[in-house]
Amino acid sequence: MVEFYEFTASDVPQFVSFYEKYLNSGVHVGEDIAALFDAGEYFGIKAVCDGECAGFLTLMEGLSLTIPHPEVEREILALIGSSRFVTVDAFMISPKFREKGIGHALCERVNAQLLSRGVDMFVVEIWVYPDHSSPALCIYEKMGQCLYKKELPGFYSASSKYGILCPVCGSECRCGACMEVIRIPS
């Protein structure tokens, strides 16, 4: 049975271990996330399957990209900068719990959480592997209306400069990203 809980401060250590395993190492440390959480600027949902942590979908206030891309940031801020919005920070599901609908269930719960916080827009940086596949590409557009979409090959090429190791490519990351802005139905 899968259960869903709001992300709490006590989830930070487990969240960080997921982050380092499935996303990257070097961007966030636990203290950063704990500080954002304490400031009320970090939130999300955790999925638990038969007592075991299965995944997370977390978000933070404002615009936050893994690697700075000033041109894209300017375009997004020109579009939605006068409104309140959040950015997806991490969407991770442990491999043994994939293909079970947990991702969609996390999205539905996050939609409800966003609306309860008075937010109806989010930015997401969707990871695109070197073979151009992207497991999360279609899931966000099901959450609402896509207001902005831009594919950015080589998005993470400067990642080693920021001390970020890619779990797929290592220090020479060839992954790209697709930036989207989604408005969820209120």
Give CA–CA dist 12/53, Å, rounded. 12
- Which listed range, 58-66, 74-82, 102-110, 161-169, lies at the site for Zn ion (CB under 5 A)? 161-169
Give CA–CA dist 111/134, Å, rounded. 21
- Shortest reach from residue 24's CB to Zn ion, in Å: 9
Give CA–CA dist 125/122, Å, rounded. 10
Measured from the CB atom, the residue of 58 and 66 that comes closer to Zn ion is 66
Contact between 169 and Zn ion by CB under 5 A: the answer reads: yes
Measured from the CB atom, the residue of 77 and 134 that comes closer to Zn ion is 134
Contact between 164 and Zn ion by CB under 5 A: the answer reads: no
Contact between 173 and Zn ion by CB under 5 A: the answer reads: yes
Give me the DSSP letters along 106-166: HHHHHHHHHHHTT--EEEEEEEE-TTS--TTTTTGGGTSEEEEEEEETTTTTTGGGGT-BB
Contact between 23 and Zn ion by CB under 5 A: the answer reads: no
Q: Which of 53, 124, 175, 184 binds Zn ion (CB under 5 A)?
A: 175
**Interface residues with Zn ion (CB under 5 A)?**
166, 168-169, 173, 175
